[in-house]
Amino acid sequence: MPAVSKGDGMRGLAVFISDIRNCKSKEAEIKRINKELANIRSKFKGDKALDGYSKKKYVCKLLFIFLLGHDIDFGHMEAVNLLSSNKYTEKQIGYLFISVLVNSNSDLIRLINNAIKNDLASRNPTFMNLALHCIANVGSREMAEAFASEIPSILVAGDTMDSVKQSAALCLLRLNRTSTDLVPMGEWTARVVHLLNDQHLGVVTAAASLITTLAQKSPDDFKTSISLAVARLSRIVTSASIDLQDYTYYFVAAPWLSVKLLRLLQCYPPPEDAAIRSRLTECLETILNKAQEPPKSKKVQHSNAKNAVLFEAITLIIHHDSEPTLLVRACNQLGQFLQHRETNLRYLALESMCTLASSEFSHETVKTHIETVINALKTERDVSVRQRAVDLLYAMCDRSNAKQIVAEMLSYLETADYSIREEIVLKVAILAEKYAVDYTWYVDTILNLIRIAGDYVSEEVWYRVIQIVINRDDVQGYAAKTVFEALQAPACHENLVKVGGYILGEFGNLIAGDSRSSPLVQFNLLHSKFHLCSVPTRALLLSAYIKFINLFPEVKTTIQDVLRSDSQLRNADVELQQRAVEYLRLSCIASTDILATVLEEMPPFPERESSILAKLKRKKGPGNLPDIDDARRHVNGSTEHSEITEHTKKGSTHPFDDPLNLSSTPSTGASLLVDVFSDSTTLAPVDVSEENFPRFVCKNNGVIFENQLLQIGLKSEYRQNLGRMYVFFGNKTSTQFLSFSASLNVHAKTVEPIIEGGAQVQQILNIECISDFTDAPLLSIQFRYGGALQNIAVKLPVMLNKFFQPTEMTSQDFFQRWKQLGIPQQEVQKIFKAKHPMDTEVAKAKILGFGVALLDGVDPNPANFVGAGVIHTKNTQVGCLLRLEPNTQAQMYRLTLRTSRDSVSQRLCDLLSEQF
Amino acid sequence: MHFLLLFSRQGKLRLQKWFTPITEREKKKVIRDMTILVLARTPRSCNFIQWRDMKIVYRRYASLYFCTGLDNQDNELLCLEVLHRYVELLDKYFGNVCELDIIFNFEKAYYILDEFLMGGEIQETSKVVVGTSIEEADTIQETLEEYMSKPAY
């Protein structure tokens, strides 16, 4: 046990920790801990009042036990008591305990807030700092509510100590991140910006962090910070390293502050003022120059700090993307790092170059490093560096080097780490498609992909190759020949069997002239793989067989024999059995003409955004999103988590019923080059029609959209968390609509592409509510009327209240539950003016239409309405109580909602209050 | 910065600090993932790893791994120096710090960290200033004579 060097030692604590460390087994440890817990409990409960020291010691022990990973369910009160001690260590341990074991017990929060308030008012900087740290560490909403208005005044007060200002700035930043709405901006904005001029560099650093965070949210309010930041930066980069005394870190002048200021400037475009702009350019040049100077120290800290500033400066240069000379210089400097002996620098250089590759000014310069990057892919020992090399190759790829890059990636794939294979596969597939001049190369590349990394080739990839082969008749013969050859390998991946089956089924006739690939040979080759494949692949092969019957009458009997065998007709899998039965029957009774019509070659797929690209975007998108179809984020451009998934079905519900007809995102029409990895939307903005949306809050059927051409009607029904919506598209004109498509930003299947004049087609959407949501899905409709392409977007009325099940309950039950939902956030109340005449019967009908049960005789005032229901989502059920109080004299309503979830209360209140 | 973890080569967690709200379950998962991820790295690998939508920056000092999770825009190199500065501060306080110091004086290690980082942002970069404020705090307690005469256990 080491001697404690300073301060007070808590010997009892040290002994306890030592005991725990000496425990030979987990059981012994638990035994020792339980003994200690019993001891502490008895001390806390004992008659003898504990002195501060003992209290501190025991609270500290509890903290230690908690940090070991055990639950602690007492001691909170003692910790809170410590907060009011005027002895520093007692207070500190109290605060530490509170910070680590936040307890939502409301009594305690009140006591804690009280203690914090006292410390903030104490004018003792050490105590004030402890209190501010506690607020930042806990950072809960309650704390934000209690202190958000007080902290700005501490921050900008003239007599506040520097260290307290720093704490206050960062505390405010922390609260702003989690409870933006509670941190008022306004009169102190200008004074906060002014902190960038402070004498104390520590204060400036903390203020720069705060301003960056605030400026990201409301850039206009903090525009004045640009000139101050540039001035400050300029003073730092031109200073001699000794000027800044202790803020010089290993001979680098204030690296933290420099990086913060450069980050702050990234919230804005290049400065408009010419003088500021040229001063900033000078700063950036100086930073680039300094990076070239010989190092002032051999320590890694020196080079890290210097290069940290350099990389941040380069990031700013890339962000501005306006100074070609700086961009090219940055690129060359990064080029030197590509071969640096420090792995970290190689990694970062590869990463930064990725962004440089997308700038038109530096794209060509980046390309000159291709050999170095390919070499990195082959020789780097660290997988994360190789991953960056793959990213950079992808980013620098264009028509001139696509073949080389794709070939290198393919050869790397053979030995690539399993963790990054799928991503490489997607990248190769995208590049091969994007830069294919010659589609035979494309087909070869994809088949190679399947051969090398079949397990990592996702459905999107092999769907896509088939879409392209079907759409391009110049490559069909080649594709048939190539898959035929590839299938001859003794062991081939199931994905290859799928592609092979599909392509030979469609285009086997193109190679049937050669006796080596005669119809019978083709069939036997495919059928030799049949028994090794999974059910979906077998189903696909059966479809290929029936296509063969049409293409090659000479093998009809062979195939019929296969279909007729017990292993097909009596297959345990119902889908396979059904296909075998139906196909066999079809081949027996249909005439050649009918067969030819039914089994005609697939029509070209509509051009749309590559589904692979969408998948890669998803992979690269924010990974913390739960299982939502991210596609919606691209289309709506909003990042709100609305969790609702929908699938459209037509007829059968089998997952592999027509596996190729997938469409997850509507065609964006955007060039592939743009927006490969970014999240932003590239969809041309179409006005979203939502004027009729509110009408559907309390009813399920009606017309959602109508213009001179098209009328869209809806019929919907809901049960628990599931719903079905029938969408009717009516052509109001006497002319055909061509290439009609209606796609949902979630998941949808195309409708009939043609709507005759005066006709109506129907689409069915199946809806499932996963958890509570705010955003409604968008239905995007495209069609050609006459020559013109029409684009319509309609917000579908799928709202949270549709998933209500009404609940009847007695007056007593109601009030009991009402009380249970007593936490302030659970209640949302709104007082609003009546927009319609205040009719009791109409109001009743609306509340019933909203989905809740109307409870009679519950409210003592008969004029009030009281309702109850349960929202069903897949994950949870949320009970809801509502009360609507009309005031006919004032023509006002008061609506109160209580549910167990604050977001639900808010949403329901917003929806319903618009109805009266 | 989203979190800072200190763990030993055996994967024993020595210090955990979370700068963004996160559930206990999620914490456990992050800790498990980090120890597996970082301990598996070979020497001389680069100090940065992409993990979910975060950048992981880690560094080994003797038997201890320091591991942080950063936002994508954060500066990795400078983060390495944040870790280094923290080690320097611990060194200054304990005098050549070792893992045992942090085990036995964990509350001090947390306190020093708090003086230096807040809400995941660096609060004070000057070693002198942080050092002074820690010493001041220590003086407050040392002048309290009653502490000296307390019973030991």
The per-residue pLDDT for range A542-584, each reduced to its tens digit, is 999 999 999 999 999 999 999 999 888 888 999 999 999 999 9
Asked if residue A810 has pLDDT above 80, the reply is yes
pLDDT, position A672: 29
More confident residue, A612 or A223: A223
Is the CB of B125 less than 8 angstroms away from the CB of A205? yes
* B44–chain A Cβ distance below 8 A for any pair: yes
Which of these ranges, A135-149, A165-179, A649-663, has the smallest mean pLDDT? Answer: A649-663
Q: Do you know the residue count of chain B?
A: 153
More confident residue, A843 or A104: A843
Q: Which fold has domain A800-914?
A: TATA-Binding Protein (3.30.310)
Which pLDDT band, with edges at 50, 70 and 90, does B136 fall under? confident
Which pLDDT band, with edges at 50, 70 and 90, does A721 fall under? confident
* B21–chain A Cβ distance below 8 A for any pair: yes
Of chain B residues 115-134, which have a CB less than 8 A from chain A? 115, 118-129, 133
Query: What pTM does this model have?
Result: 0.68
| Residue A916 CB neighbour total at 10 angstroms | 21
Best residue in B10, B33, B75, B127 for a mutation probing chain A (most A CBs within 10 Å): B75
Asked if residue A790 has pLDDT above 60, the reply is yes
**CA distances in angstroms from A487 to A120, A193, A414, A451, A474, listed in the order given:** 76, 68, 20, 10, 21
Is the CB of A381 less than 8 angstroms away from the CB of B42? yes
Is the CB of A301 less than 8 angstroms away from the CB of B81? yes
* Alpha-helical segments (H) within A688-810: none
CA distance A657 to A651: 10
Closest CA to B135 of A794, A749, A6, A735: A6
Q: Is A57 annotated as a binding residue?
A: yes
Residue A830 — φ and ψ, nearest 5°? -140, 135
pLDDT, position A241: 59
Q: Which of A133, A167, A312 sits opposite B75 (nearest CB)?
A: A312
Mean of pLDDT over chain A: 83
Q: Is A718 annotated as a binding residue?
A: no
Domain B3-149 has CATH 1.10.20.10: no
Which pLDDT band, with edges at 50, 70 and 90, does A682 fall under? very low
The whole-number average pLDDT for the span B121-149 is: 67
Q: Is A564 annotated as a binding residue?
A: no
Q: Is A53 annotated as a binding residue?
A: yes
3-state secondary structure of A388: helix
Asked if residue A681 has pLDDT above 80, the reply is no
β-strand B54-61 against A710-719: which pairing, if any?
unpaired
Asked if residue B38 has pLDDT above 90, the reply is yes
Is the CB of A6 less than 8 angstroms away from the CB of B125? no
pLDDT, position A149: 85
CA distance A198 to A216: 22
Is the CB of B119 less than 8 angstroms away from the CB of A170? yes
3-state secondary structure of A753: coil
Q: Which residues contact A913 (CB under 8 A, 6 or more apart)?
A: A830, A832, A893, A895
CA distance A225 to A201: 16
What are the pLDDT digits (tens) for A269-326?
A: 999 999 999 999 999 999 999 999 999 899 999 999 999 999 999 999 999 988 889 9
Alpha carbon of residue A864 to chain centroid: 43
User: What's A755's DSSP letter?
Assistant: B
Closest CA to B10 of B39, B31, B37: B39
CA distance A11 to A17: 10
Is the CB of B137 less than 8 angstroms away from the CB of A382? no
pLDDT, position A635: 30
Asked if residue A666 has pLDDT above 50, the reply is no
Is the CB of B133 less than 8 angstroms away from the CB of A163? yes
Residues in A touching B57 (Cβ below 8 Å): none
Residues in B touching A17 (Cβ below 8 Å): 103-104
Asked if residue A422 has pLDDT above 60, the reply is yes
* B47–chain A Cβ distance below 8 A for any pair: yes
Best residue in B15, B59, B107, B153 for a mutation probing chain A (most A CBs within 10 Å): B107
Is the CB of B107 less than 8 angstroms away from the CB of A92? yes
CA distance A357 to A677: 13
Give how far B104 is from chain A: nearest CA, Å: 6
State the DSSP string of B31-90: HHHHHHHHHTPPTTS-SEEEETTEEEEEEEETTEEEEEEE-TTS-HHHHHHHHHHHHHHH
Q: Is A306 annotated as a binding residue?
A: no
pLDDT, position A8: 53
CA distance A352 to A348: 6
> What percent of chain B has a predicted confidence (pLDDT) above 90?
45
* B145–chain A Cβ distance below 8 A for any pair: no
Is the CB of A12 less than 8 angstroms away from the CB of B73? no
Domain A397-599 has CATH 1.25.10: yes
Is the CB of A382 less than 8 angstroms away from the CB of B45? yes
Q: A853 forms bridges with which residues in the sheet?
A: A868
Give how far B87 is from chain A: nearest CA, Å: 13
Which pLDDT band, with edges at 50, 70 and 90, does A403 fall under? very high
Asked if residue B143 has pLDDT above 80, the reply is no
Is the CB of B133 less than 8 angstroms away from the CB of A387? no
Asked if residue A638 has pLDDT above 80, the reply is no
What are the pLDDT digits (tens) for A130-153?
A: 999 999 888 888 888 889 888 998
Q: Which of A133, A307, A311 sits opposite B114 (nearest CB)?
A: A133
- Chains A, B: CB contacts within 8 A come to 187
Q: Which residue of B has its CA nearest to A101?
A: B24
CA distance A856 to A811: 9
Of chain B residues 68-97, which have a CB less than 8 A from chain A? 73, 75-78, 80-81, 84-85, 93-95
Is the CB of A312 less than 8 angstroms away from the CB of B144? no
First to last CA, chain A: 73
Is the CB of B110 less than 8 angstroms away from the CB of A385? no
Domain segments of chain B as ranges: 3-149
Q: B122 forms bridges with which residues in the sheet?
A: B117
Which of these ranges, A71-80, A663-672, A736-745, A864-873, has the smallest mean pLDDT? Answer: A663-672
Amino acid letter for position A170: L
* CATH 3.30.310.10 intervals, chain A: 800-914
Pick the CATH number of A688-795 from 2.60.40.1230, 3.60.10.10, 3.40.640.10, 3.40.250.10: 2.60.40.1230
pLDDT, position B139: 65
Closest CA to B20 of A382, A177, A94, A34: A177
* CATH 2.60.40.1230 intervals, chain A: 688-795
Give how far A332 is from chain B: nearest CA, Å: 20
Of these ranges, A238-242, A559-563, A664-668, B142-146, the one predicted with the greatest mean pLDDT is A559-563
CA distance A13 to A851: 59
Best residue in A119, A126, A133 for a mutation probing chain B (most B CBs within 10 Å): A133
Asked if residue A71 has pLDDT above 90, the reply is no
| Residue A703 CB neighbour total at 10 angstroms | 13
Give how far B67 is from chain A: nearest CA, Å: 15
Encoded tokens for A10: 């808590």
State the DSSP string of A412-481: HHTT--HHHHHHHHHHHHHHHHHT-SSHHHHHHHHHHHHHHHGGG--HHHHHHHHHHHHH-GGGHHHHHH
Which pLDDT band, with edges at 50, 70 and 90, does A619 fall under? low
Residues in B touching A167 (Cβ below 8 Å): 118, 123
Q: A789 forms bridges with which residues in the sheet?
A: A784
* B99–chain A Cβ distance below 8 A for any pair: no
Give how far A159 is from chain B: nearest CA, Å: 19
**CA distances in angstroms from A509 to A265, A513, A517, A540, listed in the order given:** 63, 8, 10, 18
Q: Which residues contact A130 (CB under 8 A, 6 or more apart)?
A: A91, A92, A95, A119
Which pLDDT band, with edges at 50, 70 and 90, does A784 fall under? confident
> What percent of chain A has a predicted confidence (pLDDT) above 70?
89
Asked if residue A217 has pLDDT above 90, the reply is no
* B63–chain A Cβ distance below 8 A for any pair: no
Of chain B residues 22-41, which have a CB less than 8 A from chain A? none
Residues in A touching B95 (Cβ below 8 Å): 5
**CA distances in angstroms from A107 to A74, A80, A281, A394, B113, listed in the order given:** 14, 11, 56, 57, 29
* B110–chain A Cβ distance below 8 A for any pair: yes
3-state secondary structure of A24: coil
The whole-number average pLDDT for the span A319-337 is: 91
* CATH 1.25.10 intervals, chain A: 397-599
Residue A832 — φ and ψ, nearest 5°? -150, 160
Q: Which of B81, B120, B140 sits opposite A304 (nearest CB)?
A: B81
* B42–chain A Cβ distance below 8 A for any pair: yes
